Amino acid sequence: MSIVVKDLIRVYRTGKSEVIALRGLNLDVKAGEIVAIMGPSGCGKTTLLNMIGGLDRPTAGSILVDGKDITQFSENELVEFRRRNVGYVFQFFNLVPTLTAEENIELPMQLAGTSHAKRKERVGELLDIIDLHERKHHKPDELSGGEQQRVAIAVALANDPEIILADEPTGELDTKTGKEVLQLFHTLGREFGKTEIIVTHDQRISPLADRTLTIEDGLIIK
């Protein structure tokens, strides 16, 4: 799915103070493209991902996903858009601690009403992709950081979204494990044609992405 962000503005108001997190940002991502985004703390990276993922709404501007402006969606349409089209991967792995790896991966499919047989089949495919069959009965605290992040990626992929948004997915990982996770994102883009936006401080993303952009002060500068 293509993503076209036009003149995006997001102002946060808390009490009397105002923060302009995005100040007219433009971005054009082609279907199947892998775009890395860098930039200093507070420049608006998470804000941008939240808008594109339909987790939050901009103050002004538009976000066309496959030509449809999601900023005009009703609350219900936005929920549906997220569930069908967006897989979100966070810095902290965001797994349910009481569920095993396999059960965590199955959860989004349960919520989407997928049949038992289809869920089991999909869990098998996803365990292949993240290469973690032998740990599927482990709970998150029985997995390494890298393994937890791979499970979190499988959770994001469960309902087969076309868009993957990742917010510092290697921030909590050591160098080697971080590299493996970035490699996995690369594979998802190339083999499965996912459109990906990856926010990271990790320079090693550059050869794995189609483009690396820098945000400064709520605008893309290069």
Ligand X SMILES: Nc1ncnc2c1ncn2[C@@H]1O[C@H](COP(=O)(O)OP(=O)(O)OP(=O)(O)O)[C@@H](O)[C@H]1O
How many residues belong to the site for Mg ion (CB under 5 A)? 1
Nearest distance from residue 46's CB to Mg ion, in Å? 3
> What part of residues 6-45 is at the interface with ligand X (CB under 6 A)?
12, 14, 19, 21, 39, 41-45
Is 46 a residue that touches Mg ion (CB under 5 A)? yes
Considering only 5, 36, 47, 143, the residue that binds ligand X (CB under 6 A) is 47
Is 50 a residue that touches Mg ion (CB under 5 A)? no
60-65/163-167 β-pairing: unpaired
Nearest distance from residue 23's CB to ligand X, in Å? 11
**Burial classification of residue 117, based on how many CB atoms lie within 10 Å of its CB (0-12 exposed, 13-18 middle, 19 or more buried):** exposed
Nearest distance from residue 171's CB to ligand X, in Å? 9
Q: Taking CB within 5 to 8 Å according to partner kind, which of Mg ion, ligand X, none is near residue 12?
A: ligand X
CA-closest candidate to residue 155, choices 131, 127, 135: 127
CA-closest candidate to residue 126, choices 94, 99, 95, 102: 102
Position with the least CB separation from Mg ion = 46
Is 149 a residue that touches Mg ion (CB under 5 A)? no
Nearest distance from residue 47's CB to ligand X, in Å? 3
126 three-class SS: helix
CA-closest candidate to residue 197, choices 25, 24, 46, 83: 46
Q: Which residues, 6 or more positions from 94, have their beta carbon under 8 angstroms from its beta carbon?
A: 152, 155
Nearest distance from residue 41's CB to Mg ion, in Å? 7
3-state secondary structure 130-154: HCCHHHCCCCHHHCCHHHHHHHHHH
Query: Which residues in this chain contact Mg ion in the complex, by CB under 5 A?
Result: 46
Query: Which residues in this chain contact ligand X in the complex, by CB under 6 A?
Result: 12, 14, 19, 21, 39, 41-47
